[in-house]
Copies of this chain bind each other. A is one copy, B any other.
Amino acid sequence: MNIGDVARASGLPAKTIRYYEDIGLVQPLRSANGYRSFRESDLHKLAFLGRARALGFTIEDCRSLLALYEDDTRESASVKRIAEDHLRRIDEKIAQLQSMRTTLADLVQSCAGDHRPDCPILNDLGAPAAGEGGASCHGASD
């Protein structure tokens, strides 16, 4: 299979597949013409990677998961640990976003959104109201 076939079959862009080869996640063979030649097992790996990435695992997590997947002496505890760590990171992210969301929704709600310049959103960003409802949300945004 050439890269285009694999892209269609796995749902991953060809660019991404090349990138995954670059960083050593898959090692397709090469045909005489220099084209990548993917085996079934490569396709299977790529599908695995696609699903793991869709669940938000980092590339390094994916590398570990793939190694465990191919290791029949693995302990499921190792897999679970990675998944639990990731779950925790997701929960943190959700909490952070929800905190932003609360503050932001308040601000949006309080803004008239008309032709006049008065704006509680800008007021808050310029100098958060002491005590209640300031944009005092902590933590990075990404």
Residues of A within 8 A of B (CB): 44, 47-48, 51-57, 65, 68-69, 71-77, 79-81, 83-84, 86-87, 90-91, 93-94, 97-98, 100-101, 103-105, 107-108, 111-119, 121-122, 124-128, 134-139, 141
Report chain B residues within 8 Å CB of A44. Answer: 126
Please tell me how many copies of the chain the complex holds.
2
Cα of A141 to Cα of B119 in the assembled complex, Å: 34
Chain A interface main SS type: helix
> Which B residue sits closest to A117, measured CB to CB?
B74
Cα of A119 to Cα of B72 in the assembled complex, Å: 11
Contact A69 B122 (CB under 8 A): yes
The 4 closest A-B pairs by CB, nearest first: A80-B113, A76-B119, A56-B141, A51-B135
Contact B83 A111 (CB under 8 A): yes
Measured CB to CB, the closest approach of chain B to A12, in angstroms, equals: 12
Contact A93 B87 (CB under 8 A): no
Report chain B residues within 8 Å CB of A112. Answer: 76, 80
Contact B69 A126 (CB under 8 A): yes
> Which B residue sits closest to A124, measured CB to CB?
B51
Given A125-B65, A139-B54, also A90-B104 (CB < 8 A): yes
Cα of A46 to Cα of B135 in the assembled complex, Å: 14
Cα of A119 to Cα of B86 in the assembled complex, Å: 16
